[in-house]
Amino acid sequence: MQNILIVGIIVIIGIGGFLLLQPAAEPMVDDMAVVEQVEVVSEPMADDMGATTPGDIVETAIATPQLSTLVTAVTQAELVATLQSEGPFTVFAPVNDAFAALPPATLEALLQPENIADLQAILTYHVVPGAVMSGDLVDGMEVVTVNGETITINVDASGVSINGSANVAMADIETSNGIVHVIDSVLLPPTE
């Protein structure tokens, strides 16, 4: 937990300015009533040559207050190292309110050590191999997630949604190892 706090502080200091200097990403959904404004606070990380790059997926999530529940879940599921690896990955990242909308006690149960496999299955259902920008998405596109299940991309005049239910509230957040699209619902893999 102390390591996460240290990484969080470093990330906030290290990558906060990056997004402040970048043009703001346009939300893909006009109706933002479900998802309040998502604030991505990020600064570039300087390499040995002084060049700057954005933080990785986990560092970006840690620096984004509205993704704190996702960070907790990723940590509990032991997926931090995976999402900090080279990738690239595309993550459909649910905001805190999305987790709060789950049935009572569901998240609490998923965070228990004995349910790590279920939590990993749900979280990896939000991850797609490769860097997929919003401009690459087409209506009806089916994409296989890291957990092996398929999600369906829906694109229409109101924006982009996943499986017809999770709306993309903020798209194309670039990280050093992929892309993050913030969504307003938790995606649940199909049950057998």
Q: Where are the domains of the chain?
A: 2-183
Residue pair 64/38 in contact by the 8 Å Cβ criterion: yes
State the pTM of this model: 0.74
Q: Which tens digits make up the pLDDT trace of 142-174? A: 999 999 999 999 999 989 999 999 999 999 999
Q: For residues 14 and 133, what is the distance between their CA atoms, to the nearest angstrom?
A: 24
Closest listed residue to residue 123, CA positions, set 57, 54, 63, 171: 57
Q: Which tens digits make up the pLDDT trace of 50-87? A: 444 589 999 999 999 999 999 999 999 999 999 999 98
How far CA 33 is from CA of 48, 81, 97, 167, 184, in Å, comes to: 43, 34, 12, 11, 10
Closest listed residue to residue 176, CA positions, set 58, 81, 93, 95: 58
Q: Write down the CATH superfamily of domain 2-183.
A: FAS1 domain (2.30.180.10)
Q: For residues 50 and 52, what is the distance between their CA atoms, to the nearest angstrom?
A: 6
Position 99 scores a pLDDT of: 94
